[in-house]
Structure 1
Amino acid sequence: MTVVRPLALLLTTLLVLSGCSLLQQKPVPLYQLDSGDAVTPTKDTGMAVLVGPISVADYLRQQHLLQRQPDGSLVAAPEARWASGLANDIDQQMLRQLAWRLESQRLALAPAAPGFNADAQVMLTITRLDSGPTQPAILEAQWRLLDRNGQLRDSRLIRMEEAHGGPLAEQVKAQSALLQRLAAELAVAIQPIAVVEEPVPEPPRKKPPVAKAKPQEPPAAGPRIPVAEPIKIDTEVFRF
């Protein structure tokens, strides 16, 4: 006769229950921003652009996918996570989008390696990027553009909205579309700053005309001296 001790029976029951709960637990879906139709440029020529630093609001630096509520509050979605973090996704998407739109592989995220001479620099601050089941995706940001000499050439505040159908997948797609629109406007603003202006050659200087030497005038004639002329005398000579 086998005697089952109460402690062993309790442990067996707990293991069975935990196994059932693990089997019933669904995997948490992970999301990433979409790059849309962006294509990686094949040529390693083009303007050199330093992208960054890119600063994002603190609430965007967590793994939870936040949901904006009608009252303006944010609630973490229990069934969704960012695959690699929203802040990291923003960095990579801005780099890819700008490289595609500027048709240049010469882009680098800040801080750049030594020796990287940028024709322009993009400094970006994102203060809002979120959405909710009934709230549109909203992007609020500011950019500053510096030329190759470090001089501020452009600064702008941006606010964009993108509608969606409600599910989380559509919200992420709408947020991705906002970043693509931001990159498109940035690319237009960067081009006139990053284009290398070739120096305009100076027109050839005209040589001053050489003054022609005036012909020397003959010396002024002095008072005219009368010439002595022989005087003929009609005299007869008589000889004796």
Structure 2
Amino acid sequence: MTVVRPMALLLTMLLALSGCSLLQQKPVPLYQLDSGQAVTPTKDNGVTVLVGPISVADYLRQQNLLQRQADGSLVAAQDARWASGLANDIDQQMLRQLAWRLDSQRLVLAPAAPGFSADAQVMLTITRLDSGPTQPAVLEAQWRLLDRRGQLRDSRLIRLEEPHNGPLAEQVKAQSTLLQRLAAELAVAIQPIAAAEPTPEPPRKKPPVAKAKPQDPAAAGPKIPVAEPIKIDTEVFRF
């Protein structure tokens, strides 16, 4: 007769229950931003653009998708996550979108390798990119464009909205559309800056040579008289 110890029986039951819960647990869906109709450009002699730094708000660095509520609060979705992180997705999508719209392979994400010379540089700050079941997708950002010499040529604040039907997949699609619209406006602003001829630097003027000032007699101090020989006229009498 086999005797089952109570501790062994309890352990067997716990293992069975945990196995059932694992079998019943659904995998968490992973999402990525969509690049839309963007295609890889074929030109290798297009404009050279340094894309970045691209900075995003801290709340966009979470792994879970955030849901904007009607009262403006944000709630993390427990049944949906970003596949590789939203910040990383933004970097890659902006690079791909701009390369496609500028038709150039010569785009590099910051920081660039030493010696890289760009026709233009895009500095982008994204302060908001989210949506909710009943809230539209909203993108708020600021860009700054620099020319070859690092001079600021353009700066703009932008706010874009995109409606959706509510499900998470539709929300991610709407957010992807917002980034595509942002890239389209950026590409239009970059083209004249990247195509402009470099302005020659003005010749540097040599500093004037300081001339020696004539010495002021009054500032030279008291004049010491020069000793001169004294002539004495004497007469010699003869008797």
TM-score, normalised to structure 1's length? 0.82
**Tell me, which stretches of 5 or more residues in structure 1 are unaligned?**
200-240
For residue 104 of structure 1, report the CA deviation from its aligned partner. 0.3
Q: How does 1:29-68 map to 2 (within 5 A)?
A: 29-68=29-68
Q: How does 1:1-240 map to 2 (within 5 A)?
A: 1-197=1-197
Deviation readout 1:61-106 (Å, 9 max, x if unpaired) = 1101000000000000010000000000000000000000000000
Paired AA for residue 118 in structure 1: A
Paired AA for residue 96 in structure 1: R
Alignment match, 2:226 = none
Report the Cα distance in structure 1 between the residues aligned to 2:198 and 2:88, rounded to whole angstroms.
Answer: 37
Paired AA for residue 193 in structure 1: I
**Secondary structure at the counterpart of residue 26 of structure 1:** coil
**Secondary structure at the counterpart of residue 141 of structure 2:** strand
4+ residue stretches of structure 1 with deviation over 4 A?
Answer: none
Alignment match, 1:214 = none
Of structures 1 and 2, the larger Rg is shown by 1
Report the Cα distance in structure 2 between the residues aligned to 1:146 and 1:190, rounded to whole angstroms.
Answer: 9
Distance 1:19 1:174, change over 3 A: same
Alignment match, 1:219 = none
For residue 55 of structure 1, report the CA deviation from its aligned partner. 0.4
For residue 196 of structure 1, report the CA deviation from its aligned partner. 4.2
**Secondary structure at the counterpart of residue 149 of structure 1:** coil
Deviation readout 1:149-183 (Å, 9 max, x if unpaired) = 00000000000000000000000000000000000
Paired AA for residue 64 in structure 1: N
**Secondary structure at the counterpart of residue 55 of structure 2:** strand
Alignment match, 1:207 = none
Paired AA for residue 81 in structure 2: R
Alignment match, 2:212 = none
For residue 197 of structure 1, report the CA deviation from its aligned partner. 2.3
For residue 43 of structure 1, report the CA deviation from its aligned partner. 1.7
For residue 116 of structure 1, report the CA deviation from its aligned partner. 1.1
**Tell me, which stretches of 5 or more residues in structure 2 are unaligned?**
200-239
RMSD: 1.0
Paired AA for residue 60 in structure 1: L
**Secondary structure at the counterpart of residue 183 of structure 2:** helix
For residue 36 of structure 1, report the CA deviation from its aligned partner. 0.2
Report the Cα distance in structure 2 between the residues aligned to 1:42 and 1:120, rounded to whole angstroms.
Answer: 20
Report the Cα distance in structure 1 between the residues aligned to 2:198 and 2:121, rounded to whole angstroms.
Answer: 20
